[in-house]
Amino acid sequence: MNVHFQECWEKTRYESDHTICLNGQTIPYRTVCEDNFFFNEEGKAVATIYSYAYFRGDVEDPSKRPVMFAYNGGPGSASLWLHLGLVGPRRVKLADEINLPTVPPFELEDNPNCLLDICDIVVVDMVGTGLGRLFDQAAKEEFYGSDADIRQLAMFVDGWLTRYNRHNSPVILAGESYGTGRSALLAAELLGGGPENQDTLGISVSGILLLGTYFYEPTAFSQMSLNLPSMAATNHYHNPDGKPGLTEFVNQAYEFTRTEYLPAFYEGDALPEEKKEELVKKLAYFTGLEEDYVRQNWQDIPTRDYMKQLLKNTHQVVGFYDSRYTWPDLPDIPDANVIADDPAMGQYTPAYQAGFALLRQELGITVERRSKGLAHGVNQQWDRKFKRNPAQALAAAMRRNKSLQVFFASGLFDLCTTAGNARFLARHSKLDPDRVLIGEYPSGHMAYLGEESARMLGDDLRRFVAKATKQSFQGS
């Protein structure tokens, strides 16, 4: 089936006007929320990407104003997390990010870290997620796959820029989790001339935010060495006594990994017993695990084991997506789903899902569709094969576009896409180090959870976008 992107959006287009105060300025903004349809050869709509655009309202000529495209990943995840946590002008109100309410009522509030004063924002729900839909199951191969997903997203971006006369606007891509690999592939696809000789769109990207980096395939390196700093951060949070501050402790773990663990890992079973015992003690210190367990597993401590081993004396399991969260280990109660049934994801999902329902009311979106926050069916149907991997695509895009800046951002308490893995990809993907920024924050997979981390990440993102789009920095 051959599908194509076509202008047809008036029926489900919703516009509204609002204001927000950012850095002491009252910023008026206009929202446009709409379907972006894909049609088959018979002219039937087979799918839609749903977009939520935020335009600063007091700009006379927006044709050169930067625009950020933001999306989550999954695959199968809607973009309500980034939308209501980091980039949108409204966010979920959380008094305490660790002890969240799991039942209504919930509230929204203005997002002080929003970048609407320096760039317009387009949040994207991909086909089958959020308010995006696949109407014809026969067309799923055109959307539910690593390469197909990128082709359709590139068509959407090109169509959106054309519709709003923004082809002369600097473009920022902001992807989270699976969305980071999506951004890397998209940057190359927008330039054009990909593995299947697609049309050369010639759309260059000024900057890419990779938040919780995941490039689709296991990193060809010792996973234990990449995960150790996040294990150290987790141990520090739950067992801080006798340790230096979080940043210093994590830096010590990085240094230990570089100078002691990796040489020992290379020696493997040939490591002399005396050196092994010394290594075991240090690993136990950083991870918080018992020496006997470390002695048996020092070359590879699986993350899922770590989640249960760290607090086993109190029968608690730490979260995969944010290891600050815990819940009771109930051995007779199996996890219903490895993504949603998690100490962290299980707690903050109700607030974000309800928050999106509140946002729909504020934006006047009345289309009769429920929001699919996490569409597990999409994830299960996804074709994960790709012509080239995201690291290759990103390196190729940076080679072709000498102005492209990249920002790898991670939450230290993220055991899913660890900070160490992000550092490794940033430094081993043939990227220009002078155009790569690495940031690590005291939060989890959603590094904007918590006021301190949200402010730090927001400030760094503001600096990054200002630099990538050649604007003077305006910060708090």
pLDDT in tens, 295-317: 999 999 999 999 999 999 999 99
Residue range 192-212, pLDDT digits in tens: 865 565 677 889 999 999 999
* The predicted structure's pLDDT at residue 271: 95
* The predicted structure's pLDDT at residue 260: 96
Query: Higher confidence at residue 217 or residue 113?
Result: 113
Confidence category of residue 9, pLDDT binned at 50, 70, 90: very low
* The predicted structure's pLDDT at residue 3: 58
Portion of the chain with pLDDT greater than 90, in percent = 82
End-to-end CA distance of the chain: 51
C-alpha dihedral, 98 to 100 to 106 to 111, nearest 10°: 0
Q: In degrees rounded to 5, what are phi and psi of residue 5?
A: -85, 135
CB contact set of 422 (below 8 Å; sequence gap of 6+): 210, 212, 213, 408, 409, 410, 438
* The predicted structure's pLDDT at residue 7: 45
Confidence category of residue 8, pLDDT binned at 50, 70, 90: very low
* The predicted structure's pLDDT at residue 338: 66
Residue range 412-465, pLDDT digits in tens: 999 999 999 999 999 999 999 999 999 999 999 999 999 999 999 999 999 999
Which residue in the block uniquely carries the two structure tokens 């309500």? Answer: 80
Which residue in the block uniquely carries the two structure tokens 């929202």? Answer: 31
Give the span between the Cα atoms of 82 and 88, in whole angstroms: 7
Confidence category of residue 221, pLDDT binned at 50, 70, 90: confident
* The predicted structure's pLDDT at residue 19: 98
* The predicted structure's pLDDT at residue 220: 78
Average pLDDT over residues 33-56: 94
* The predicted structure's pLDDT at residue 294: 97
* The predicted structure's pLDDT at residue 472: 66
Residue range 167-183, pLDDT digits in tens: 999 999 999 999 999 99
CB contact set of 56 (below 8 Å; sequence gap of 6+): 27, 28, 29, 62, 65, 116, 117, 120
Helix axes 419-427, 223-238, angle to 10 degrees: 140
pLDDT at 473 over 80: no
Measured at the CA of 20, the angle between CA 158 and CA 17, to 5 degrees, comes to 60
